[in-house]
Amino acid sequence: MSVKAMRPKLNQDDIVRLMKGSSAEDRAHATHKLCRRIGNEELQAEDKVFADQILNLLAQDAEKLVRRAMAVTLKNSPNLPREVALKLAHDIDSVALPVIENSPVFRNSDLVELVLNATEAKQIAVAGREKLSAEVADTIAEHACRDAVVKMASNDNANLTERGYGFTIDRFKTDEDVQGALISRSWIPPQVAEKMVSLVSGQMFDLLVNNHELPPQLAIELASGAHERATLDLVEQAGHSSNLPRFVQQLALNNRLTPSMIMRAMCLGHVSFVEHALSELSGLPHHRTWLLLHDAGSLGLRKIFEHAGLPKGMHVPFQMAINVYHELDYDGLDGDRERFRKRMVERVLTQFQNIPKADLDYLLEKLDAYREVEDQRSDEAA
């Protein structure tokens, strides 16, 4: 956009209103019109100098309505000069917050400085940015107000380090809102989850231990009732593990790698866990176990069962569950994991009736849970 091209879009009345408007509303309207042009165009070097000069003047306007019009209009634009963005960020909250929360022109050092020196409202605005680097997230965890920490902890795109998690927990170890925000994240490090086990209770404890990866030995102790807390579902915990071979080894060492557990995992589609479990029990390498399980048909499965010492009575339902697994697929949409497992359990229960009562009750309970999640998603989408 050239200077000549910019000017025709602003008629003479616009220019007059911009510089000498009789009211703040008039000048704010002209500011919005100009900033919309600047924000939506690719600027050449000459044009950028011209635009920057205008924006610097507008940032110093005595009327907050004019400054806010510029801030709101250019909050997402890369054409907002960094120096002007910083000036707006140190303005009153109604002007500063849209820019702080959205502008792509800030450096990490700018955001850190705001967290350390700005008002609580501005700290919260920084915490609400779409993405937060580790440097900024950790600074919020260590220095920002409580509400900013809650917002940052709820932000899955906040790249918290172990140090940042430590600050968050140490500063707010009894604050349920902070705890809930951390637990709501899609992933937290196992060592952080372990630290939180002793801090939370009730529903939050259940969400923590069943939605996040725990160190294997702690998971086994919780599942055994050693901590006298809610029972942990080791099958679901296996789905969170980032180191399945180690998790399976710990289960075996504690005599928790049972045929029933493996069958339940298979019926829920936790096939990676099943592969490693059968590899551990049979003594066969994982790649051979995979081939026998997926590519060698019924004879391959019988061979694994013999090596692993699994009951012969499990062979038919297990083979049927594998067949169902191969027939189904993830749909790639939101909630596809729950939908896949729901379909998996439904097919297993439909095609094979002679399931031990304890395992049947377990699968029916899981089916109810998956249906509830699916209903909630449908209600939210409606």
pLDDT per position as a tens digit, 42-66? 666 666 677 778 888 888 888 899 9
Distance from chain centroid for Cα 3: 44
pLDDT of the residue at 353: 67
Is it the case that residue 240 has pLDDT exceeding 90? no
Confidence band for 110, pLDDT divided at 50, 70 and 90: very high
Please give the residue that has the higher pLDDT: either 380 or 132. 132
Is it the case that residue 228 has pLDDT exceeding 60? no
Confidence band for 82, pLDDT divided at 50, 70 and 90: very high
What does the alpha-carbon distance between residue 89 and residue 111 come to, in Å, rounded to a whole number?
10
What value does the mean pLDDT of the chain take? Answer: 85
Residue type, 156: D
Is it the case that residue 131 has pLDDT exceeding 90? yes
Q: 363 with 264: CB under 8 angstroms?
A: yes
Residue type, 357: K
Burial class (CB in 10 A: 0-12, 13-18, 19+), 273: buried
- Count Cβ atoms below 10 Å from residue 153 Cβ, excluding itself: 29
With tokens 């705001």, the residue in question is 114
Q: 75 with 99: CB under 8 angstroms?
A: yes
pLDDT of the residue at 332: 61
Is it the case that residue 229 has pLDDT exceeding 50? no
Q: What is the pTM of this model?
A: 0.69
What does the alpha-carbon distance between residue 143 and residue 246 come to, in Å, rounded to a whole number?
37
What does the alpha-carbon distance between residue 315 and residue 304 come to, in Å, rounded to a whole number?
10
How is residue 106 written in tokens? 């800030």
Please give the residue that has the higher pLDDT: either 110 or 362. 110
